[in-house]
Amino acid sequence: MIILAEWFRDRMTAELIVALVGMAAIAFVVFRWIREAPDRPDPWDEEMDQEIASDQAQPLCCRCLTPHGPSEHFCPKCGAPVGDLVNFLPFEYIFSVGYLFRIGTSGDYRASPLTVMGFIIFSLTKYSIFAPFYLALLIGNLPTNIRRTNFPDQTASID
Ligand SMILES: [Zn+2]
């Protein structure tokens, strides 16, 4: 405890204190801004809320809108992870990540600098030394994906 107090005493300079107070003030302003933000209006009416909450409601795939069972982990048509807890299950998580990486190489996403950087960083964290193989596929297909994103009507006839 004494060592810790000496460590703080040696490093507590005026600049550090000003920086800490500044960060605390910024955190307070951001917290207050989020807390006082107006609620967005609910886009669904009460009838829609009741239909979603009913026992007969069938979940749809978020990718292709195919109905699937409530206990299924992956869409039977497109293979997208649709289960509520897929990404928390160790075995299913592998397939969920694989599905995400396949999207990156197939080009079935909206190519932007942010999404491409996300694929690059995520593949580096997951594949480590094998990431260059994935990056070769990702970057090799990137011109086609960018064309498909920017000119979807022209590339639809090519596909
Ligand atoms: Zn699907």
Q: How far, in Å, from the CA of 38 to the mean position of ligand 1?
A: 34
Per-residue model confidence as pLDDT tens digits over 72-85: 999 999 999 998 89
Per-residue model confidence as pLDDT tens digits over 103-137: 999 888 888 899 999 999 999 999 889 999 999 99
Q: What is the DSSP letter of 72?
A: -
Q: How far, in Å, from the CA of 56 to the mean position of ligand 1?
A: 20
pTM: 0.63
Q: With cut-offs at 50, 70 and 90, classify the pLDDT of residue 155.
A: low
CA distances from 70 to 11, 29, 94, 159 (A): 56, 42, 20, 33
At position 116, the amino acid (one-letter code) is V
Q: How far, in Å, from the CA of 71 to the mean position of ligand 1?
A: 15
Helices (H), the chain: 2-11, 14-35, 46-53, 90-106, 113-127, 131-140, 142-150, 152-158
Residue 110's nearest CA partner among 64, 158, 156, 150 is 150
